[in-house]
Structure 1
Amino acid sequence: MSQDEHARRGIDLDKPNAARVYDYILGGQLNYAVDRMFAEQVLTAQPNARERARLNRQWLRRVIRFGMDQGIRQFLDIGSGMPTVGHVHEVAQAVDPKARVVYVDNEPVAVAHSEIVLEDNENAAMVHADAEFPDDVLEHDTTEMMLDLDQPVMVVMALFVHFIPDSRDPARLIAAYRDALAPGSYLALSSATYEQQSEGTTRAVEMYKQSANPVTPRSADELHALVDGFEIVDPGIVFIPEWRPDEAHPNPSESGGLALVARKN
């Protein structure tokens, strides 16, 4: 792809992009040299970054199965990133092929490849939008076609909100999605944290300041404040591997992140 084509598609190759870096760390191919160079620097500062990414993907799959167990058949994945094995629609539709999934991202490579993956799936679709503008997501033609917001929906924000600094009011953002949801809906959220973390996490966060997507890790108390108006379900706000695990993890804090699921009553 030429530089002009990159520019036309809105792909900035001057700075690493979080979605593409995450793809590389997970072993994907949907990334560029600038992302790979940055990811290798992150891996030097935080050698277990691949394990952290893997643990978050496992949590995501557990969350979707939980939603299906609660009768949820509609999912809105905010900041969905690159299509990977075990994506939301694969987990949900393995239980019920009629489960509907809308993915949302503003990274052009993630959008383009997600559209290819979903091309033959009538119950899953990709929305190219900036999730920080909820109306652009919720009133998008694709969202309105795929999801019935008068019925319960699970909104997924996996490692998304830590890219929203306090100056951009993440609580307001989450409240906007909450207010659009029917009672019985859920929010699933994971985020980087400084709680019980080593100096490597601090170094990695400092590095992300040079990327297109700086990170703001948050404590359990800070995440609790962001989900006002939701009721947090058991086991509460915990390290990612501790959220309803399939098997115990020897050192949950090594995940570098906290997770929660909350219900709108």
Structure 2
Amino acid sequence: MSDDEHAKRGVDLERPNAARVYDYLIGGKLNYAVDRAFADRILEVLPSARHMALVNRAWLRRAVRFAADRGVRQFLDIGSGMPTVGHVHEVVQAIDPASKVVYVDNEPIAVTHSEIVLEDNENAAMVQADAEYPDEVLAHPTTRAMLDFGDPVMVIMAAFVHFIPDERDPAGLIAKYADVLAPGSYLALSSATWDGQGEESRRSVALYEQSGTPLTLRSSDELRALADGFEILPPGVVFTPEWRPDEPLEDPPERSGGLALVGRK
């Protein structure tokens, strides 16, 4: 893609993009030199960053499988990022091919490639929107066509709210999505945390400050407060690998650098 084409699509190649950095960390190929250079700087100060991204991705797959196993057939993935192997639609449609998935992101490369991946999938779609404006997301024609909010929906916010500082009211943001959900719906929420972390995390947060995409790390109590109105299901707010693991843990859970929960409305 030429520089002019990048500009037309709104792709900023002057600074790293959080979605593309995450894609690089989990082994994806939808990233650019500026993203890889930034991720490599993060890895220098926080060698476990790739592990953190991978275990968060694994938690996401477990969380959506949990909901699908309990009969949920509609999923709204907020800040979905790049289309990677084991994305939400692959997990839930393996359980029921009729499961509906709507991805939401405003990163042009994520949107373009998601549209390509989903081209032949009538039960999954991409919405290009700023997820911080729930009214626009929920009123989008694709969202309205794909999802019936009279039935349960799982809203997914995986590694999303730590990009929303307190002054932008993440609790209010989540509440607006929650307001439209039917009883029996779920919230899957994960975030980077200070809990159990050391100086390496502080240095990585400082790098994100320089990138133009600052992080707001939150404690277990703060993450629990964001899920107000949901019944937080066992095992509660835990490090991502501790949430209903498929296998015994090999690494200290705090090495994940992230907390996760699933709540039921």
Query: Shared fold by TM > 0.5?
Result: yes
Task: Name the counterpart of 1:11.
Answer: 11
Give deviations 1:101-158, integer Å, cap 9, x for gaps. 0000000000000000000000000000000000111110000010001110000000
Q: Does 1:169 align with 2:153?
A: no
Q: Aligned partners of 1:211, 1:223: CA distance in 2, in Å?
A: 24
* TM-score of the pair, normalised by structure 1: 0.98
Task: Name the counterpart of 2:129.
Answer: 129
Q: Aligned partners of 1:263, 1:245: CA distance in 2, in Å?
A: 19
Task: Name the counterpart of 1:99.
Answer: 99
Aligned Cα RMSD in Å? 0.8
Give deviations 1:9-60, integer Å, cap 9, x for gaps. 1111111000000111111111111101101000111111111111111101
Task: Name the counterpart of 2:211.
Answer: 211
Q: Aligned partners of 2:97, 2:136: CA distance in 1, in Å?
A: 27
AA at the equivalent of 1:232: I
| Contact 1:242/1:248, CA 8 A, preserved across alignment | no
Secondary structure in 1 aligned to 2:195?
coil
Secondary structure in 1 aligned to 2:173?
helix
Secondary structure in 2 aligned to 1:209?
helix
Q: Aligned partners of 1:210, 1:181: CA distance in 2, in Å?
A: 37
Secondary structure in 2 aligned to 1:57?
helix
Q: Aligned partners of 2:86, 2:3: CA distance in 1, in Å?
A: 32
Secondary structure in 2 aligned to 1:112?
helix
Q: Aligned partners of 1:50, 1:224: CA distance in 2, in Å?
A: 25
Q: Aligned partners of 1:226, 1:65: CA distance in 2, in Å?
A: 23
* TM-score of the pair, normalised by structure 2: 0.98
Task: Name the counterpart of 2:85.
Answer: 85
Any residues of structure 2 matched to 1:128-167 within 5 Å, and which?
A: 128-167=128-167
| Contact 1:102/1:143, CA 8 A, preserved across alignment | yes
AA at the equivalent of 1:254: R
Q: Aligned partners of 1:10, 1:167: CA distance in 2, in Å?
A: 26
Q: Aligned partners of 2:240, 2:126: CA distance in 1, in Å?
A: 26
Task: Name the counterpart of 1:259.
Answer: 260
Q: Aligned partners of 2:263, 2:52: CA distance in 1, in Å?
A: 22
Secondary structure in 2 aligned to 1:126?
strand
Q: Aligned partners of 1:213, 1:133: CA distance in 2, in Å?
A: 18
Q: Aligned partners of 2:7, 2:211: CA distance in 1, in Å?
A: 18
Q: Does 1:44 align with 2:44?
A: yes
User: What is the aligned length?
Assistant: 264
Any residues of structure 2 matched to 1:184-195 within 5 Å, and which?
A: 184-195=184-195
Q: Aligned partners of 2:10, 2:238: CA distance in 1, in Å?
A: 37
Q: Aligned partners of 1:69, 1:77: CA distance in 2, in Å?
A: 18
Any residues of structure 2 matched to 1:55-66 within 5 Å, and which?
A: 55-66=55-66
Q: Aligned partners of 2:23, 2:130: CA distance in 1, in Å?
A: 19
Long gaps (5+) in structure 2 = none
Percent identity at matched positions?
A: 70
Secondary structure in 1 aligned to 2:263?
strand
Q: Aligned partners of 1:69, 1:216: CA distance in 2, in Å?
A: 32
Q: Does 1:227 align with 2:227?
A: yes
Secondary structure in 1 aligned to 2:210?
coil
Runs of 4+ in 1 over 4 A off after TM superposition: none
Q: Aligned partners of 1:170, 1:197: CA distance in 2, in Å?
A: 22
CA shift at 1:248, angstroms? 2.4
Q: Which moved more, 1:7-16 or 1:116-125?
A: 7-16
